[in-house]
Amino acid sequence: DIKRDFEGKKVLVTAGPTREPLDPVRYLTNHSSGKMGYEIAKALVERGAEVILVSGPTYIEAPKNVTFIPVEMAMEMYNAVMMHLEEVDIVIGSAAVSDYRPKEIQKEKIKKDDQELTIQLVKNPDIMYEVGKRKQNRISVGFAAETTNLIEYATKKLKEKNMDLIVANDVSQEGAGFGVDTNIIKIIDKNQNIKEYPLMSKSQAAHVILDEIAKLF
């Protein structure tokens, strides 16, 4: 029996990687599968929320009964989030947003020529930072995937991005990396309370994360 504790809540979830084009055939991206964010979206629907899922390119099917907004570039994800921010009660940022994008997108395919090729990159907006800046009463939850100093870095991000909770996972641990169906998470709140959980499925992890969010209502 699933509790409908998110009934009446509108939630925006970002998920997946972003894709930053270099030319008409190439792009920069990362290993994010989107699984964690999609499981969160699914769990939210089960628990009664109205869900907007803003997703970068993934190989998984969009969950049923969500407003699905597919995007590619970080700039597109940023615009989609900003467009819907005012109408939502909660933002959950699980996307692995590319920190940089090529300064110019070449109109024609880049030809191999010299021994070296330099590509200039410029910074993308930090979507969750911008969400935190416009916070009001909205609940903001982020993720921190780290390979070292997990708690320290995650706590720093929680503060800098004005989040209520941050879900930290050590991506160097087996069963917690990219693309797998499991995760090992720690949830940190504003008062630096840290909750540690054992290895579990991403679906179970999604429900555990929602349990902690629901306590903030």
Distance separating alpha carbons of residues 202 and 138, to the nearest angstrom: 25
**Which is catalytic among the residues 30, 65, 79, 162?**
30
Nearer to ligand C5P, 37 or 63 (CB): 37
Q: Are strands 200-201 and 182-183 parallel, antiparallel or unpaired?
A: antiparallel
What are the counts of helices (DSSP H) followed by strands (DSSP E) for the chain? 5, 14
217: exposed, middle or buried (C-beta count within 10 Å: 0-12, 13-18, 19+)? Answer: exposed
Query: What is the distance between the alpha carbons of residues 108 and 201, in angstroms, rounded to a whole number?
Result: 43
- For ligand C5P, which residue of 72, 99, 211, 212 counts as binding (CB under 6 A)? 99
Q: Is 95 in the site for ligand C5P (CB under 6 A)?
A: yes
Q: Is 186 annotated as a binding residue?
A: no
Residues 154-183, one symbol each (x = binds ligand C5P by CB under 6 A, - = not), give ---x--------------------------
- The residues that bridge with 175 in the sheet, in sequence order, are none
Query: Measured between alpha carbons, how far is 125 from 110 in angstroms, rounded to an integer?
Result: 26
With CB under 6 A as the contact rule, the residue among 32, 33, 55, 124 that binds ligand C5P is 124
Any known ligand binding at 217?
A: no
65 part of the active site? no
Supply the minimum distance, in Å, between the C-beta of residue 12 and ligand C5P. 11
Among residues 82, 85, 90, 64, the alpha carbon closest in space to that of 11 is found at 90
Question: Rounded distance, CA 12 to CA 137, Å?
Answer: 14
56 binds ligand C5P (CB under 6 A): no
Considering beta carbons, is residue 124 or 183 the nearer one to ligand C5P?
124
Specify the DSSP element, H or E, that contains 113.
none
Q: Rounded to whole angstroms, what are the CA distances from 153 to 121, 146, 170?
A: 24, 8, 11
Residue from 6, 27, 38, 143 binding ligand C5P (CB under 6 A): 143
Are 15 and 94 in contact, with CB atoms under 8 Å apart?
yes
Nearest distance from residue 100's CB to ligand C5P, in Å? 9
Nearer to ligand C5P, 24 or 148 (CB): 148
Q: Which of 139, 144, 210, 213 binds ligand C5P (CB under 6 A)?
A: 144
Interface residue with ligand C5P, options 12, 44, 127, 205 (CB under 6 A): 127
Which residues define the annotated binding site for CTP? 99, 109, 143, 157, 161
Binding site for ligand C5P (CB under 6 A): 14, 74, 93, 95, 97, 99, 124, 126-128, 142-144, 157
Catalytic residues: 30
